[in-house]
Structure 1
């Protein structure tokens, strides 16, 4: 699974106005150019952003990054849209590529004509946004469990898909301060190996230790 890096948030370079936050895949940090019509990803070096600057200057003919970036800062509406897309993808259990389907873009085109400009992010951008949202919600959930005053019960469910991929689900249950029963899924983790008691116990412990 790809992971995201927040290193770019602390960068002073104006070049980041032209690139999406880096995504780490297969050991390489890559960032998508916002100016390229297609999904153009460049490798982000830990030592600097020289290759990103060269791309902007050589391909897009922008030499003064500072001045150009003032007109290229993401608009509030873009963040609102991406937040809504993440909720839609996660709630309806849709693939990241749903934002790239022809019918979806036709719908957006109709909306754009009715109500201004809308830019749809790529599937990789939606994936990154979803991972970031998951990380935030997971941290919040950990705090909720840590501050919980009642005992917590855990249930498990070992499930195998039609494609013969096994998953172990773990759900936490407790009673909150208002005497309401609460339930939250801790994880639905891929399960490797035979479904023996020892393997199930080890997978269960790994999930619990993460919280």
Structure 2
């Protein structure tokens, strides 16, 4: 019996489909475009697809960008045709090169009640300033033709540079400084508590200093402090050291500051009520 001859047929494939599959792999696995120029990778591709002309890194980058533009066009058409409502989540983080980035993700439900999540914006920003972030978000929504935004949450798990209540809000800085002054000395704490009891201020909370990068922590601090507004005002009037120390830096909390504290607490308490949660994710951050 004559031995079987090996088939010399070459495997048929569509170069365009292979290139598209290659771009899929690079995107999904977050590979560098330069992977197509690595010798071992090219050898493996040749073994699977003999005769396939490996694109350069510049070519595959253009393919990936075009892939993105095609998908973006499809999503924009869907949003326009359905007048889709979306929820947005924002995330800021800093790269190793000390460049701040803002990622904008849209969450929505299609006509078949399937939940979708799409990154619709990713761009460098000058910092975590709320005004700048707002302008970037506005431009992104305009670019995508999104008119119906149900909610915006600012999740920030990779950067400690943002918080819902910013340090550049001077009223928060003053309240934080007043709390810090009290907590520096056991005698001040005792004096503070004694005065609170004398004026029958009912509260199970104790003064504590917040973590400026965690908005829930700042909310709890403000919620506690507003209950002791009269005590802080008494210190401002009677304690010369209190006034001297605080007025050297940012000043002590005044009437308008306490009004802002009450408004912030009311706003965030309402948010807790709307979400049906007593506590929010402490990593959530953003701007009021």
Q: Same fold (TM over 0.5)?
A: yes
Which residue does the alignment assign to 1:202? 135
Equivalent of 1:158 in 92, 106, 119: 92
Distance 1:111 1:179 in 2: 40
Q: Which has the larger radius of gyration?
A: 2
Which residue does the alignment assign to 1:184? 118
Counterpart mapping for 1:52-201 below 5 A: 77-112=14-49, 116-148=50-82, 151-191=85-125, 193-201=126-134
Query: Aligned to 1:170, what secondary structure does the other structure show?
Result: strand
What CA deviation, in whole Å up to 9, does each residue of 1:74-109 have, x standing for no partner? x97211111111111111111111100122122223
Superposition CA RMSD, Å = 1.9
Query: Aligned to 1:152, what secondary structure does the other structure show?
Result: strand
Distance 2:29 2:90 in 1: 23
Which residue does the alignment assign to 2:158? none
Q: State the TM-score, normalized to the length of structure 2.
A: 0.43
Q: State the TM-score, normalized to the length of structure 1.
A: 0.58
Q: Which has the higher helix share?
A: 2
Query: Aligned to 2:62, what secondary structure does the other structure show?
Result: helix
Change (3 A) 1:124 1:150: closer
Query: Aligned to 2:46, what secondary structure does the other structure show?
Result: helix
Change (3 A) 1:151 1:201: same
Kindly state the Cα deviation for residue 140 of structure 1 after the two structures are TM-superposed: 0.4
Query: Aligned to 1:195, what secondary structure does the other structure show?
Result: coil
Conserved 8 A contact 2:34-2:57 = yes
Distance 2:31 2:102 in 1: 20
Kindly state the Cα deviation for residue 150 of structure 1 after the two structures are TM-superposed: 5.1
Distance 2:134 2:52 in 1: 48
156-165 or 132-141, which deviates more:
156-165
What CA deviation, in whole Å up to 9, does each residue of 1:181-208 have, x standing for no partner? 22211121122x2321111111111111
Which runs of 5 or more residues in structure 2 are unaligned? Answer: 1-11, 145-288
Counterpart mapping for 1:17-32 below 5 A: none
Distance 1:130 1:87 in 2: 8
Which residue does the alignment assign to 1:18? none
State how many pairs are aligned: 133
Query: Aligned to 1:210, what secondary structure does the other structure show?
Result: helix
